[in-house]
Structure 1
Amino acid sequence: MMKVSYSIDKDQSDQFISFLILGVLYSLKHKLISIDDAEGFIFMPSVAQILCKAQLPNELIDIIESGCELDDIVDLVPEKIDNSIKELMIKTMSVLKNSKKVGRLLDKKINIIME
């Protein structure tokens, strides 16, 4: 089995995670993935806990926690799902706007692990 591992410096992680969240939300909005897929990628309570331990911005943790509730919105008030996704996208873009700009100076490492 082969795994790809992408690691990034903590100072740049809020920006990277914001990009991941935006990609997942965009994919949800355009029905490229399901809510279950979105939860599998990023919207899990365990991810929020990891970000909290890493002392990432509270706004980012709140977005993850709100994303965990998208399945409840679909079940209880499905007509509000599009607006909920849009609101999360706006909040995520706000985090990006307030992130430290790193440009091309990313301290990253990409590994391929063979098991």
Structure 2
Amino acid sequence: MAEAQILLSSSHESGIVAVASGEQYPLAYTALAECGFQRDSDGVWRPAQAQTDLLASAKRHGASVHTSSRRFIGDAARDLAHQLPGQWEASVEIYPHPAGQEDLVPWIWER
């Protein structure tokens, strides 16, 4: 895994969402914030204003940018929760540092 990564996904609720990861994930946070993304309480970054060039900002801060061919996992979790009987809520937890992902990788779609 790269030292700092930004993974862009498509969300039917939010449009583009970004998740930062890697041992140097704070560098990705800086690049996202510089480009007008804001971090929600769940750790997912969403565009809050017109974005400047994310690729250039990420490069300046030593982060790489990737796009996912899959929809945002939070949307899939919410859709699944709506299909279950009774009242269910879904939430997303972000573990940006690889050490926090070790036991979770087999259970999730993306790093």
TM-score for both structures, normalised by structure 2: 0.30
More helix by share: 1
Higher RCO (CA-CA < 8 Å; seq separation 6+): 1
More strand by share: 2
TM-score for both structures, normalised by structure 1: 0.29
Larger Rg over CA atoms = 1
